[in-house]
Structure formats: structure tokens, C-alpha cells
Amino acid sequence: MGKSKDRSKILVIHGPNLNMLGKRETDIYGKSTLDEINADLKKMGEKAGLLVETFQSNHEGAIVEKIQQAVGKHSGLIINPAAFTHTSIAIRDALLLLDIPVIEVHISNIYKREPFRHTSMISDVATAIIAGFGAYGYTMALDAIAGIIHP
């Protein structure tokens, strides 16, 4: 595979419980399902000349391994670590391996929620943070990454 194709790959990682979007706490997380969000991102990516790969796991180690596998293979990462945002030094450390734009996304505004959600282990290593825009935050993140890698 040519280097230009490698540069156009964007990885989107969804953390724990995000596979239940559209079913759980719709007043906070909205009614969009993860499949709908992923399909929208892939369509948007095609229009922007990007190949969007999506991944969801409820397991911290699987997320760490997926980040490690992205080294040298992806041009950008969008990550919603979900509950691991507040607890995972392992995910943070894995992100330090990457030399690509990393955008942290949260469907809800974590700073308007319970105090334990106000701390992110990820934010200081992310290129940018998008929070509180619902599922649209993923679209904003993909648009931002496209602008960063193809100015």
C-alpha cells in the first residue's frame, strides 16, 4: 500500500458502553446509535478523501492495543475514551506513542456533570477536545482532522 493511502486513514475509537448509544441515558447521550455515528463518519470521510476505520471496546487493554497498532498506519485519531477518560493512564501512555493529531471527543459536556468526570487523563496529550455537542462532536472532530492533515 502506498504512503499516500496510509496518510488518509483515520482511526475512530469508542470506549466502554458506547455500543449502547441510543439505548442508554438518551437524555444525556442522544438517540443516535453507534452504528449510525460510524456510518455518518465513513460517508463524511469518503467525501473528504479519508478512509475512516472505527473500533469500539469495553476493555481497556483492547483500546491500548488498537492505539499501538495505529502507529505508522493512521494519519489521525478520534477517541472517545468514555469512562476510561477519567481513569486510564494506560490509554494516555499509549496515545503518547502517536505522532498524529488526536482529538478527544465527548458526547456530553463532561464539565457540566459529576465532579469525578471533570478530570481527563487524556486531554493534556490530545491535540484538541470537543465536548457537549452530542454525536455532532464526532463530525466536528473528523472535519478538524481533515483540515489538519490536508490544509
Q: What is the pLDDT of residue 12?
A: 98
Q: Which of 14, 29, 74, 138 is catalytic?
A: 29
Q: What is the pLDDT of residue 78?
A: 98
Q: What is the pLDDT of residue 3?
A: 41
- Set of cell numbers at residue 145: 482532522
Angle in degrees, 0-180, between the axes of helices 136-149 and 34-47, rounded to the nearest 10: 30
Q: Is 106 a catalytic residue?
A: yes
Are the beta carbons of 62 and 91 closer than 8 angstroms? no
Query: pLDDT in tens for each of the 151 residues of the chain?
Result: 334 444 489 999 999 999 998 888 777 777 899 999 999 999 999 999 999 999 999 999 999 999 999 999 999 999 999 999 999 999 999 999 999 999 999 998 888 777 777 789 999 999 999 999 999 999 999 999 999 998 7
Q: What is the pLDDT of residue 74?
A: 96
Q: Which of 106, 111, 118, 150 is catalytic?
A: 106
Q: What is the DSSP letter of 54?
A: E
- What CATH number does residue 97 fall under? 3.40.50.9100
Residue ranges making up the domain that contains 103: 3-149
Q: 3-state DSSP: the chain helix, strand, coil percent, rounded to 5?
A: 50, 15, 35
Q: What is the pLDDT of residue 151?
A: 74
Q: Is 86 a catalytic residue?
A: no
Q: How many domains does the chain have?
A: 1
Q: What is the pLDDT of residue 150?
A: 85
Gap between the terminal Cα atoms of the chain: 23
